[in-house]
Amino acid sequence: MAEVITMPRLSDTMTEGKVAKWHKKVGDTVKEGDILAEIETDKAVQDFESEMNGTLLYVGVEEGNAAAVDSVLAIIGNEGEDISGLTGGAAAPSASVSEEKKSEEENKTENNATSVEQTSAEVPAGVEVITMPRLSDTMTEGKVAKWHKNVGDTVKEGDLLAEIETDKAVQDFESEFNGVLLKQGVEEGGAAPVDSVLAIIGPEGTDVSGVGAAKTETKSAEKPAEQKTEAKVEEKAAPAVSSSSSERVAISPLAKKMAEDKGVDIHSLQGSGENGRIVKKDIENYQPSAKPAASAPSASPAAQVAVSFVQGEDTETPNSQVRSIIAKRLAESKFTAPHYYLMVEINMDKAIEARKEINSLPDTKISFNDMIIKATAVALRKHPQVNSSWAGDKIIHRGNINIGVAVAIPDGLVVPVLKNTDQMNYTQISAAVKDMAGRAKSKGLKANEMEGSTFSISNLGMFGIETFTSIINQPNSAILSVGAIIEKPIVKDGQIVVGNIMKLSLACDHRVVDGATGAQFLQTLKTYLESPLTLLL
């Protein structure tokens, strides 16, 4: 019996998805696990796999087009099966949505007193206008950190055009077109709003002097289905293609995405595809060496100009995208979420002994921060209300425990995320934190490595800070602040002795976490840290 596959909701903010590419066409045999299509969401391009076996009988969304979540994406069934009833019933709503969108776009066009047809007429044949892409759900503008092509340079599909600094990271921006770079819409170091003209590519010698202005004036009138001018973005990661390398690696988009997800250095691979092109099976069959070489993060522009003191002279430093967004988010969090703070002292004597024993094992070295992360993750299992988010008319209780670890960078603060932290052991946590912290400082983190946190930890103990409070990292409902371990006199069994004390501060959003709930969570965390063996129960 035929099964209707609908457009999935791949992120909590997604309302529609765009089919970036179909991997199967009507009439093809489909097996469970086969990639049907690549779906472009408001955050990333994701592979969409089939959950059933059969034949692809119907495609509800053409490649390059968008459709609302839950609308018909495809139909899979037996070869030759009659699906007229399914397509007939599904087509009407989809068509209705399409007509509504078309009507809205036409209204926007009239309001701007400029039609889409007029704009298209102003773009010479063969010319492609590339706009500033939206690389994260919170991005409103992007900054060109570096141009890799100058006006007049020949550009080929897959060539690196520029490095775009977003509110989260610096990402490589590649061309999807062949031609000559005719115009740079944003100068190096400058910023521009999302959807404004970034670059224009076309035949050499084409006059595009008026294209940028027309495009800017009518950007709200552009049809989503026609926005094929955006170059595909591949997030910048240390193990992947270095932006400073002029050597391009022949690799399919899917293989490149898989390599980034798995942390595979594609420069070390020999492709099995045509002309040595790296394809999906090369990534799947990749076997890392026994001792992989440490990959040095690629050089990136300084996030913040070094400040030196000059007597009697005031200086200024322009805010980067990262610092501007940090300021905005922290202000929103502080002024919208009713913060309150709970503090507790932890006797770390047993934790110190446990760490010594663990680190005496071969090839093992963990920090106190790793132990705190592990204990916090396990404590969140017992107190799921703390692992929740405020969503206006409801509270979302998260099904995964993903802990964000605050990392200081020259330009402010980023929060890389350890996914499913409660399922990680000490060694895995230690390796992940070191890797992401190192890449965070060189702006080598991928955007998806800083998304999806359900709880956050900020540790200033290494700077000798005994106690402090933090601002909640939205959409989390709590953040743990970790101070230094200090030797001080304590009372133990009626005697004054020297103890190793660490202070923890928990900031909670009172809309989600009540005082008693926050206190119970801290009690559980205190138990785990003061008696580390309880983590094994």
Catalytic residues: 510, 514
Tokens of 275: 């002309």
**Which one-letter amino acid corresponds to residue 347?**
N
Pairwise CA distance, residues 334 & 477, whole Å: 12
Task: Judge whether 298 and 238 are in contact, CB under 8 Å.
Answer: yes
Pairwise CA distance, residues 359 & 96, whole Å: 63
Pairwise CA distance, residues 194 & 66, whole Å: 19
Pairwise CA distance, residues 159 & 155, whole Å: 6
Tokens of 349: 């004597």
Task: Judge whether 418 and 445 are in contact, CB under 8 Å.
Answer: no
Task: Count other C-beta atoms under 10 Å from residue 519's C-beta.
Answer: 15
List, in sequence order, every beta strand (DSSP E) within 379-492: 388-390, 395-397, 403-405, 407-409, 412-414, 417-418, 455-459, 478-492
Pairwise CA distance, residues 255 & 277, whole Å: 10
Exposed e or buried b per residue across 187-200, where buried means at least 16 C-beta atoms within 10 angstroms of its C-beta: eeeebbebbbbbbb
DSSP 251: B
Q: Give the largest Cα separation in the chain, rounded.
A: 88
Pairwise CA distance, residues 440 & 467, whole Å: 25
Pairwise CA distance, residues 235 & 265, whole Å: 14
Question: What are phi and psi for residue 237, nearest 5 degrees?
Answer: -135, 150
Tokens of 342: 């709970």
Please state, in angstroms and as integers, the Cα–Cα distance from residue 167 to each residue in 135, 321, 410, following that order: 9, 5, 14
Question: Please, what is the end-to-end C-alpha distance for the chain in angstroms?
Answer: 48
Exposed e or buried b per residue across 237-257, where buried means at least 16 C-beta atoms within 10 angstroms of its C-beta: bbbbbbbeeeeebebbebbbb
Cis bond before residue 318 (omega within 30° of 0)? no
